[in-house]
């Protein structure tokens, strides 16, 4: 995995060299734009707006428009000159509770890994944050902007998430009227929540639409007809309490079916285990089989194969 960014966490006077690795990836299927008539790829060329010539990457520079059609050129050397040593590191400004920050402020997530020599200081920061139930808020320059960061401790390491500044987060555009809800409706909603409560397991969630999209692509490659899926039946329940009751009943059924499936799977494993143990017991020869008195091999010519258990098996 390629390193996305190398930097140093400044924790007071302690410097912790780290590498940042992108913690997520996009697995979505991508489509290419094609010419409708001959199915050839559509190409986009970078051309000069003045002379109309195609321009290569080596001939393209960065510019800031300060007046209409007037630009000042900014080079990478210019950007490096205005950076300070503090800009090149993640400077921790303060610490906060994780639940004090709205999720809307989080952007891109990275896994932090200590560089050689920084392991102890890295672990010290991680453990101290875990014990205090805190996260660190810091800043660093990434690319051409000063980036706000959250340093989040975990049992297995540290995550670093880029954050939006306050002026980058939009206010709620439209408020809504909050109707009164009855105690009965609230109790029923809470029961539904409790009936669907379970520990978060990321492996339980799959992008089912991407699976269907792959099936569609494979179907068309094979020259077969794509068959539309049958629409799912909807309950069409108008009354809120009736909808809650029906949802609660369905959730209980789903939970019961899942529990029964787990019991069947566990029972099957136990049955196979007992069967395997019984078979092994029948096949296991006595310790002195194929041996004469005194432990010497017999001359019958029969070879006995033994299965040995290794340590830790």
**Mean pLDDT computed over every residue of the chain:** 82
Of 13-17, 101-105, 241-245, minimum mean pLDDT range: 241-245
> Model confidence over 226-237: pLDDT tens digits?
888 887 766 666
> Model confidence over 145-158: pLDDT tens digits?
899 999 999 999 99
* Per-residue model confidence (pLDDT) at position 263: 63
* Per-residue model confidence (pLDDT) at position 108: 95
- Contact 55/145 with Cβ under 8 angstroms? no
Burial status of residue 125 (CB atoms within 10 A of its CB: 0-12, 13-18, 19 or more): buried
Looking at residues 109-120, what average pLDDT do you find?
95
Burial status of residue 37 (CB atoms within 10 A of its CB: 0-12, 13-18, 19 or more): exposed
* Per-residue model confidence (pLDDT) at position 301: 40
* Per-residue model confidence (pLDDT) at position 271: 56
Task: Report the alpha-carbon distance of residue 23 to residue 21 in Å, rounded.
Answer: 6
* Per-residue model confidence (pLDDT) at position 294: 38
pLDDT of 268 > 60? The answer is no
117 or 258: which leads in pLDDT:
117
48 or 240: which leads in pLDDT:
48
* Per-residue model confidence (pLDDT) at position 175: 78
Which pLDDT band holds residue 297 (cuts at 50, 70, 90)?
very low
* Per-residue model confidence (pLDDT) at position 39: 94
Looking at residues 172-199, what average pLDDT do you find?
88
* Per-residue model confidence (pLDDT) at position 262: 63
132 or 145: which leads in pLDDT:
132
Looking at residues 280-306, what average pLDDT do you find?
40
175 or 206: which leads in pLDDT:
206
Q: Where in the chain is the domain with CATH 2.40.290.10?
A: 5-24+59-168
Tell me which residue has tokens 């339980």.
204
| pTM (predicted TM-score) | 0.67
Tell me the CA distances in angstroms from 286 to 46, 232, 293, 299, 310, one per residue in order. Answer: 82, 62, 14, 18, 20
pLDDT of 47 > 70? The answer is yes
- Contact 52/42 with Cβ under 8 angstroms? no
CATH of 5-24+59-168, one of 3.40.50.970, 3.40.980.10, 2.40.290.10, 3.20.20.60: 2.40.290.10
């Amino acid at each position: 995995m390629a390193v996305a960014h190398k930097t140093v966490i400044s924790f007071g006077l302690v410097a912790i060299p780290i590498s940042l690795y992108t913690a997520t990836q996009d697995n979505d299927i991508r489509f290419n734009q094609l010419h409708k008539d001959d199915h050839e790829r559509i190409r986009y060329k970078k051309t000069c707006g003045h002379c109309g010539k195609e321009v290569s990457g080596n001939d393209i520079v960065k510019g800031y428009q300060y007046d209409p059609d007037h630009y000042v050129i900014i080079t990478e050397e210019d950007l490096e000159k205005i950076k300070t040593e503090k800009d090149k590191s993640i400077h921790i400004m303060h610490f906060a509770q994780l639940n004090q920050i709205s999720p809307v402020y989080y952007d891109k997530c990275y896994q932090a890994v200590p560089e050689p020599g920084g392991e102890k200081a890295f672990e010290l920061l991680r453990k101290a944050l875990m014990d205090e139930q805190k996260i660190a808020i810091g800043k660093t320059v990434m690319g051409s902007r000063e980036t706000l960061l959250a340093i989040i401790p975990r049992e297995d390491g540290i995550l670093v998430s880029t954050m939006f500044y306050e002026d980058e987060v939009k206010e709620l555009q439209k408020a809504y009227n909050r109707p009164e809800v009855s105690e009965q409706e609230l109790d029923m909603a809470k029961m539904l929540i409790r009936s669907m409560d379970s520990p978060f397991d990321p492996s339980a969630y799959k992008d089912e639409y991407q699976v269907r999209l792959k099936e569609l692509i494979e179907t068309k490659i094979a020259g077969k007809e794509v068959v539309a899926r049958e629409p799912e039946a909807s309950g069409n329940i108008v009354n809120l309490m009736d909808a809650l009751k029906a949802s609660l009943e369905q959730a209980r059924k789903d939970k019961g079916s899942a529990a029964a499936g787990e019991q069947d799977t566990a029972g099957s494993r136990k049955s196979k285990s007992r069967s395997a143990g019984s078979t092994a017991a029948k096949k296991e020869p006595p310790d002195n089989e194929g041996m004469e008195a005194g432990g010497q091999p017999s001359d019958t010519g029969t070879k006995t194969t033994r299965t040995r258990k290794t340590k830790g098996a």
